[in-house]
Chains A and B, each alone.
Chain A
Amino acid sequence: DTGVSQDPRHKITKRGQNVTFRCDPISEHNRLYWYRQTLGQGPEFLTYFQNEAQLEKSRLLSDRFSAERPKGSFSTLEIQRTEQGDSAMYLCASSRASRSDGYTFGSGTRLTVV
């Protein structure tokens, strides 16, 4: 297994456009998380899945954001009608059921909205 993969690594988009990011977790991990990280800040929780079920969403996740994890494998995070404030690094992570292992992170998708 090659770890958590995120695609694309970088995305530049014009304000108002829709963007979609993909995350492929470690295959034996049943939990998948999305975080957002802005410059000089720690990662902030957006949402997480246990298998295909989305169990929690942060208030940071406005109605322009939607995440899916069909069949409990890869996940997508879509941002509709992007705004300049959406510019950030979007991190995906996965984990086993045991919290003691922490998360394994992907390399992130850096979004720039111009």
Chain B
Amino acid sequence: AQTVTQSQPEMSVQEAETVTLSCTYDTSESDYYLFWYKQPPSRQMILVIRQEAYKQQNATENRFSVNFQKAAKSFSLKISDSQLGDAAMYFCARIDSGGSNYKLTFGKGTLLTVNP
């Protein structure tokens, strides 16, 4: 089974500080996409950032960046200058880039608390 593992059920960070959320995955594919999704309480899941496995350069979106280590099958999310609005569940997810499998596979999530 191709799995996604988030080993931190909960994390907390002080406002304006930096936090890193961990994600590892298992796949036999050489090409795939990785995503971080944010799910605020009682609100819909939104895409935060994406990474293409064939690109070595780490993706960055404003205060959000990733550390993608393909050989280690690791895909961590760094949130800089944390804001109160960053508090949410964060899910790491993976999808094959080709073939007939269009399923996104998710980790169990990390609950991020931002302390004022």
Contact = CB atoms under 8 A, between A and B. Distances in A.
Interface in B71-111: 91, 93, 95-97, 100, 102-109
Interface residues of A, number: 25
Given A43-B91, A107-B44, A99 B106 contact: no
Interface in A86-106: 91, 93, 95, 99-100, 102-106
Contact of A41 (B96, B104, B108): B108
Contacts, number: 64
A105 B50 contact: no
A42 interface: yes
By Cβ-Cβ distance, the 5 closest A-B pairs, closest first, are A42-B106, A105-B45, A107-B44, A42-B108, A45-B103
Interface of A: 4, 31, 33, 40-45, 48, 50, 55-56, 91, 93, 95, 99-100, 102-108
